[in-house]
């Protein structure tokens, strides 16, 4: 239950064992087309381009910077955690000038601050944001930011690597210009795939940008995508697996997938708070929950006890949150009893480490949340 890589369902693992196919064939073209069509449905876009890359999410992030900015161009970077800080590092690597909008880790940006910066800096070309900041579990109001940026000449880039397939993303309705996604989070495939969704407005910037680019050149990607191919050798086996995951998501229904993530993470947060622990994020995301342990209990001891004694693998904190939090992922192939198991392991580990708490308190609070909804259908079979 880490926030990535996330569990891979059995039928997706089986798909990975199919014969390896060539990527310049009719057979591959049909799979590629189905994957792009499915991703468009999940991204809620009618006609924006979707490019698949053999890379991790960071490669797709780099592609967004390289394809939309020239050295000396101005951008806004919202920073509130390890992943959103990466946008600033990438801008620096490409010589772009960025206005940092720094927020306390665990908080979410006030969209009004972006509006203010855009008014004061009409030469800003790109706004870089993060839907779910995986290092803090905080969610950003991308809908509000999208409405603001859409009314300007700037484009909006969203890192949705742990947001898409977890919570609502309305690419067209919210005016999102570049959406970055990765395979190993809510898309339930092994690490190695990234995809980007690019709007018409962004495509105009791609033609104007002068940054050096080759592997990740969206112009080459577009030519290939129009033929249901990738510019370079496609990781066909991973894409076959991705098709299986997408079929699973569409079979459950995108709205139901989102509702399930909200239910599971909501139950987890309720259970955690019943134990007297604090959730770090003010506006928590539904794919990952960052939790502050009680006073006197080191977060890494808690994490290690959960893994070594009870076999529940959760993540620790990163950078300035190292040793201060644990992070529990509830993404993709995750169901009610995973949350119960995690809470149970959390309770027992807390008691093992000397924290006084009634066993069953968190589990019970979570069960009450889970039982209060009639809509939930069993996800794992």
Structure tokens at 278: 């604090």
Q: With contact defined as beta carbons under 8 Å apart, do 149 and 116 qualify? A: no
Q: Does residue 83 touch ligand PLP according to CB under 6 A? A: yes
Q: Does residue 4 touch ligand PLP according to CB under 6 A? A: yes
Q: Does residue 87 touch ligand PLP according to CB under 6 A? A: no
Q: How far is the CB of 196 from ligand PLP (least distance, A)?
A: 12
Nearer to ligand PLP, 166 or 340 (CB): 166
Q: Which residue in 38, 106, 111, 182 binds ligand PLP (CB under 6 A)?
A: 182
Q: Does residue 230 touch ligand PLP according to CB under 6 A? A: no
> Strand, helix or coil at 190?
coil
Nearer to ligand PLP, 87 or 218 (CB): 87
Q: CA 74, 80, 86 angle in degrees (round to 5)?
A: 55
Nearer to ligand PLP, 135 or 349 (CB): 135
Q: Does residue 318 touch ligand PLP according to CB under 6 A? A: no
Nearer to ligand PLP, 188 or 274 (CB): 188
Q: Does residue 88 touch ligand PLP according to CB under 6 A? A: no
Q: Does residue 56 touch ligand PLP according to CB under 6 A? A: yes
Nearer to ligand PLP, 161 or 334 (CB): 161
The number of residues that bind ligand PLP (CB under 6 A) is 11
Q: How far is the CB of 326 from ligand PLP (least distance, A)?
A: 16
Q: Does residue 289 touch ligand PLP according to CB under 6 A? A: no
Cβ-closest position to ligand PLP: 57
Q: With contact defined as beta carbons under 8 Å apart, do 177 and 155 qualify? A: yes
Q: How far is the CB of 29 from ligand PLP (least distance, A)?
A: 27
Determine the interface stretch with ligand PLP among 31-39, 52-60, 240-248, 269-277 (rule: CB under 6 A).
Answer: 52-60
Q: With contact defined as beta carbons under 8 Å apart, do 79 and 87 qualify? A: yes
Q: How far is the CB of 125 from ligand PLP (least distance, A)?
A: 21
Query: In sequence order, which ranges of 69-159 are alpha helices (DSSP H)?
Result: 82-93, 111-120, 142-150
Instruction: Compute φ and ψ for 3, nearest 5 degrees.
Output: -80, 45
Nearer to ligand PLP, 176 or 340 (CB): 176
- What is the distance between the alpha carbons of residues 149 and 370, in angstroms, rounded to a whole number? 38
Q: Which residue in 9, 38, 57, 80 binds ligand PLP (CB under 6 A)?
A: 57
Three-state SS letters, 316-350: ECCHHHCCCCEEEECCCCCCHHHHHHHHHHHHHHH
Cβ neighbours of 358 (radius 10 Å): 11
Q: Which residue in 63, 108, 130, 336 binds ligand PLP (CB under 6 A)?
A: 130
Structure tokens at 80: 């509130």
Q: How far is the CB of 58 from ligand PLP (least distance, A)?
A: 3
Nearest Cα neighbor of 105 from 134, 126, 129, 75 is 134
- What is the distance between the alpha carbons of residues 34 and 45, in angstroms, rounded to a whole number? 15
Nearest Cα neighbor of 246 from 42, 56, 55, 48 is 42
Nearest Cα neighbor of 285 from 170, 132, 130 is 132
Q: Does residue 211 touch ligand PLP according to CB under 6 A? A: no
- What is the distance between the alpha carbons of residues 190 and 238, in angstroms, rounded to a whole number? 8
Per-position DSSP letters for 147-166, written without gaps between them: HHHHTSS-EEEEE-TTTTTT
Q: Which CA distances in Å does 87 have to 79, 93, 184, 219, 352? A: 8, 10, 20, 22, 40
Question: Which residue do the tokens 């053999």 mark?
Answer: 54
DSSP state of 284: B
Determine the interface stretch with ligand PLP among 50-58, 273-281, 309-317, 324-332 (rule: CB under 6 A).
Answer: 50-58
- What is the distance between the alpha carbons of residues 295 and 362, in angstroms, rounded to a whole number? 18
Cβ neighbours of 6 (radius 10 Å): 25
Binding to ligand PLP by CB under 6 A, coded x per residue (else -) over 143-172, reads ----------------x-xx----------
Q: Does residue 177 touch ligand PLP according to CB under 6 A? A: no
Q: Does residue 58 touch ligand PLP according to CB under 6 A? A: yes
Nearer to ligand PLP, 181 or 275 (CB): 181
Nearer to ligand PLP, 28 or 83 (CB): 83
Residues at the interface with ligand PLP (CB under 6 A): 4, 56-58, 83, 130, 134, 159, 161-162, 182
């Amino acid at each position: 239950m880490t926030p990535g890589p996330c569990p891979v369902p059995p039928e997706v693992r089986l798909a990975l064992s199919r014969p390896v196919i060539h990527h310049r064939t009719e057979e591959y073209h049909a799979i590629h087309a189905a994957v792009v069509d499915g991703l468009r449905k999940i991204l809620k876009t009618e006609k924006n381009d979707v490019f698949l890359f053999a890379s991790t999410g960071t490669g797709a992030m780099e592609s967004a910077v390289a394809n939309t900015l020239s050295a000396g161009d101005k951008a806004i970077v919202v920073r509130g955690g390890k992943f959103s800080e990466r946008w600033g590092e990438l801008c620096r690597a490409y010589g772009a000038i960025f206005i940092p909008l720094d927020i306390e880790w665990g908080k979410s940006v006030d969209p009004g601050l972006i509006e203010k910066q855009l008014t004061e800096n009409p030469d800003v070309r790109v706004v870089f944001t993060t839907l779910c900041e995986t290092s803090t579990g905080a969610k950003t109001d991308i809908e509000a930011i999208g409405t603001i940026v859409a009314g300007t000449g700037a484009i909006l880039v969203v890192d949705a690597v742990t947001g898409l397939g977890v919570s609502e993303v309305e690419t067209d309705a919210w005016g999102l210009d570049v959406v970055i996604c990765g395979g190993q989070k809510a898309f339930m495939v092994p690490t190695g795939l990234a995809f980007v969704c690019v709007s018409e407005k962004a495509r105009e910037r791609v033609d104007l940008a002068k940054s050096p680019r080759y592997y990740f050149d969206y112009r080459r990607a577009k030519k290939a995508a129009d033929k249901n191919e990738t510019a370079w050798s496609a990781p066909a086996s991973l894409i076959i697996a991705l098709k299986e995951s997408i079929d699973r998501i569409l079979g459950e229904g995108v709205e139901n997938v989102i509702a399930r993530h909200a239910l599971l993470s909501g139950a987890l947060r309720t259970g955690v708070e019943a134990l007297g622990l604090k959730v770090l994020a003010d506006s928590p995301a539904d794919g990952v929950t960052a939790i502050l342990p009680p006073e006197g209990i080191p977060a890494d001891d808690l994490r290690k006890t959960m893994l070594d004694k009870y076999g529940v693998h959760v993540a620790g904190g990163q950078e300035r949150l190292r040793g201060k939090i644990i992070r529990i992922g509830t993404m993709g192939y995750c169901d009610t009893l995973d949350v119960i198991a995690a809470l149970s392991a959390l309770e027992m580990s807390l008691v093992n480490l000397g924290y006084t708490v009634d066993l069953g308190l968190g589990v019970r609070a979570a069960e009450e949340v889970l039982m209060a909804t009639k809509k939930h259908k069993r996800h794992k079979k």
